[in-house]
Each structure stands twice: as structure tokens, then as C-alpha cells.
Amino acid sequence: MVQDCDNSEKNGMVLVPQTRGYEASRARYFNPEESGRFPAEIHAVQTLTDVIKALKRAQELGVTVGVRSGGHTPSKPSLVDKGVLIDMSQLNRQVSYDPQSQEVCFGPGVRVYEAWKATDAIGRFFPFGHAPDVGLGGFCLAGGQGFFMRGWGVTITNWIVKLEIVVPDGRVVIASRTQNKDLFWAARGAGQAFFGVVTRIWSRTIPKKKMFGRTLLFEVKEQYEDLLSFAFHCDDKMTKDFTEAAVCTFHDELLQADVAYERVPPSSPLRLLINASAYADDLSEANAMLSSWDQIPENIKGCLMQSTPVSKVDWEDFFKLQEKFNPQGPDRKWGINSILNDIAVPRSEMISAIKPAMCNLPTVSSYGCIYMSDLLNPDEEDAVFSLPQQYYISTFTGWKDPSLQPEIHETMLTSYQKAESVACGMYIADFNQTPSCSHSPSVSGNRIWPYSSFRESNRVFDQLPVWTESARAKFMKIREEWDLQGLFSGYKAFSGPMKGRNK
């Protein structure tokens, strides 16, 4: 069974600057913020042969390669200045299902929404991500914080069984736990550091169930600490399998249309929304799975604005809500800062250190998000994905007016300097490795340094690790074996030992 997700015309082509289509393709990213980076050629590939040709062409030109699937990473690591950008959005943009193996096979350009639609139609499920537009290529390489991961971990470890990869010398190889094992190990969690082009992905599936959810909406007032303690406590008590919870902080304007201002007015109260979900067969099962959220303690009752009972969630509505949190448009700019907490740090200390990241939102389109991943012991033997992800703590910053950038970046610098004191590292998808140049922001760690004066002020931060030090060393060795020439340069940002708690 094959579901084709792509209705657009199929026409693989090579685009060069100043020709029709180049600029539109260069701009096709979730974050439209100008980067000042111009690939020498953009190869919009349709076939494996196109991919092989693109790699060969980069070698002829003596330049590096960037690969874009969904283009959702705000820092746009695939947009290689003067290099070759390979656009994967049309290659194998379909989901096929093999009833015998019960595996789905899909191309890297398939979006989360398309993966849901295709698997739902055949009564199957695998854990894709939450934002409908995220491409599964980048999602899987980063690790994949897919649905209900607190029970089964990230998508690449328990679900993805095989990858088809065009390696730097132009060969098409299969990587799995039995074939090219080193490549399979290195691909899963490599994110933008990966050194090949993933062209097809195979995942296990399970029979689909129904999604149920409940929400609790609070006004934060002076009770940020109590509210977060409550959320973590209920998450601890919630059954592990087929459940998840996320906390979101925001101002009301985030979900209102046509708000004329961008800065947060002092009078705008901060909200905290808890969304708990269960993947179950029926309502009574879901109620039992989410019962840890039933009792609201006395000390936060005064903050409670709304509590919805457990009810069935319509997937279309779920994805529409995600879009409301991250509306897209040519003038909508986005940034992400995030950490993964160090599980050795006492919870109260962690809650206090992440307070600015959660509460000090620089614009009305920004929001704080804690995804309770509850992954404590990733298996480094199995994949380069090796840091614990108990809580993914992030701030999504959104803005339109370019003059707000310095202020936003300054706020994030301050907030995340504090948050990083309780971090073990960060999710590689959020790592900003934008090369510094005179016209574009410069970077230290996951922070953008918007102006040269910031650099001159000599404020240098540690770079948070994205893997353990031993996984990093093993990755670099494998990378060198497959890509001696450094055709894929994303690894460079991670090539020196990283500082911080996770040595």
C-alpha cells in the first residue's frame, strides 16, 4: 500500500543564483529570517541518481553539502553559503506499508502531518513529532521526540529499523542493526552533523488507538514554583506507557489573531497550560491513565482558570493548535533556545534556574515549553543519541519587527545562561551553528550573537554538549571513515570537546 503525500509537479532541477526559482527555494524554511547565506547551487532532487549527481557536483566545485528535508530547523544548518544545498522535499514523498513486516517506509521530505494521515488511514501508528510541518528526515536524524516517548524513548531507537543512505563516495547503502552498523549507530542522533544523505526510512508500526487529552490552565501569578512542582509531581505519578505531558507558558495574545503589538505589556498576565495525553482504546482507560492530574492542591487552586475533563482528541484539531502556536508567514521569524536538565540537580534548584526561560518571554508570540520526555538512560551502545532527556526545556521566540532582534536575543542570553547551570546538554536539533560573518549573526553555543558589539563585549559561554563525550569521540571516528574529505561539514561545530556537566 502506498500513499503519495505530494500533489505538486515532479520536476527535479538545479537552481543557481539569479535564476527563476532559486530565491524561492533558498527561502523555503520554517524561519524566514535572512541568513546572508547563498548556496552556489540548489539541487531539488527527485531520484537517487539526482542525489548522487549533487554529491559529485559538490566534489567538482570543491564545496560542502547541506541537506534539507522539511527545513524546520530555525538556524537552517542546511543553508550552506557557497555550497550545494540538496532539497529532499520531493524525493520519495510517500508512505508505504508492508503488511507482512508491519513496517512503514517513507522519504525524508514526508511531513509529520502526512505521516499521521497515511498511517491513520491504514489503522497503524508510529511516533512522529508534534508539529505538523516538521520533516521526518531531520526529525529522525535528531533523534525524534515523537508521541508518548516517556514509555518507549525517542523514535530512532525503538521504532526506526533501517535507513537508505547515499554516502559521500556516491554509493547507496542500507544501514541497520545488521548492515553497516556503524553508519546506523552514527545516523541516529547525529542531526546536522550527519555525513550522508538519508533517502528512505523504515519504521515499525503498531495498531492505532485513540488519542485522549485533558488540559489545565492556570494564571501563574506569584506561584510559578508551586505550579511547576505540581506538574512534575503529577508527571512522576502518571503511568509511563502511551502517555505524555507538556507544560507551556504564554501570554493570552499568543492565541489571539491580529494583535498589533509585539512587546509583552506589563498588564498581560502569564498563563501556564498543562496538556496531558493518553493513547488508549477507550475513555475509561484514558481516564485511569491520566488520573494523576485529578487532584489540584489547595495552594494552587486560586490560580486555576480552566480544567477540561479527559476527552477524545481530534488529530486534525491537535495539529491546528500546533500551527496556532507557531504561525508561519514571510514576516514571522522564529528562534529556539533549549536545554536538557541534569537529572542530578535537585528539582527545586532546576525549577528556579529555568524560571527566566519560562516566565520572561520577550514577545507576545513567544512561549516556554517543557516536554516531559522522561528518558533517563539512552543506550549509547545502540545510537549516538546518548544524553538523558528527562525534561526538554525550551523557549520558542517569535517576532516580526527586525528591530526587536537584539532585545530578544539579549533576553534569551540572560535566561539561558541561568538555565544552563542546571543542564546536562541540549537536543541537537536546537543547536545553532550559524557561521559568523560580518552580515549575519555570530554564534556561541546555541545562542545567536546578533551584533559584532556582542562579540566585542567578550561574553563567551560554554558550548552545551549534544552527546556524551564518549559518543562524540566514536562518532567523529566513524565520520572520518565515511567522509574523509569533509564533504558534509556539519560535524565541525561538534569536533572539539564540549564543556559543561556532561564530560
Q: What are the residues binding ligand FAD (CB under 6 A)?
A: 30, 67-74, 77-78, 88, 108, 129-131, 134-135, 137-139, 141-142, 144-145, 191-192, 194, 197-198, 326, 336, 429, 490
For residue 391, give the nearest of 434, 424, 415, 356 by alpha carbon: 424
Say how far apart CA 78 and CA 16 lie, in whole Å: 16
SS3 of 425-468: ECCHHHCCCCCCECCECEEECCEEECCHHHHHCCCCCCCCCCCC
Judged by CB, which is closer to ligand FAD: 329, or 346?
A: 329
Q: Give the 3-state DSSP-derived string for 188-257, with helices as H, strands as E and coil as C.
A: CCCHHHCCCEEEEEEEECEECCEEEEEEEEEECCCCHHHHHHHHHHHHHHCCCCCEEEEEEEEEHHHHCC
Q: Which is nearer to ligand FAD, 285 or 315 (CB)?
A: 315
Minimum CB separation of residue 453 from ligand FAD in Å reads 28
Question: Which of residues 144 and 500 has its CB atom nearest to ligand FAD in the complex?
Answer: 144
Nearest to ligand FAD of 137, 445 (CB atom): 137
Do residues 220 and 272 make contact, with C-beta atoms less than 8 angstroms apart? Answer: yes
Q: How far is the CB of 69 from ligand FAD (least distance, A)?
A: 3
- Nearest CB to ligand FAD, comparing residues 142 and 290: 142
The CB-nearest residue to ligand FAD is 138
Contacting residues for 19 by C-beta, under 8 A, at least 6 apart: none
Name residues whose C-beta falls within 8 Å of residue 286's C-beta, 6 or more positions apart in sequence.
210, 212, 278, 280, 310
Closest distance between ligand FAD and the C-beta of residue 223, in Å?
28
In the complex with ligand FAD, the residue whose CB is nearer, 66 or 454, is 66
Separation of alpha carbons 435 and 76, rounded Å: 11
Nearer to ligand FAD, 303 or 466 (CB): 466
User: Which DSSP state fits 264?
Assistant: P
- 333/454 with CB nearer ligand FAD: 333
Contacts of residue 248, Cβ cutoff 8 Å, sequence gap at least 6: 272, 273, 274, 275, 325, 367, 368, 369, 370
CA 469 to chain centre: 22
Shortest approach of ligand FAD to residue 88 CB, angstroms?
Answer: 5
Closest CB 441 distance from ligand FAD, rounded Å: 17
Minimum distance of ligand FAD from residue 294's CB (angstroms): 27
**Least CB distance to ligand FAD at residue 81 (A):** 13
As a whole number of angstroms, the distance between CA 125 and CA 148 comes to 12
Q: Least CB distance from residue 76 to ligand FAD, whole Å?
A: 6
CB count within 10 Å of CB 148 equals: 17
Q: Which is nearer to ligand FAD, 139 or 230 (CB)?
A: 139
* Burial profile 1-13: b = 16 or more Cβ within 10 angstroms, e = fewer: eebebbeeeeebe
In the complex, what is the shortest distance from the CB of residue 226 to ligand FAD, in angstroms, rounded to a whole number? 28
φ/ψ of 313, rounded to 5, equals -105, 130
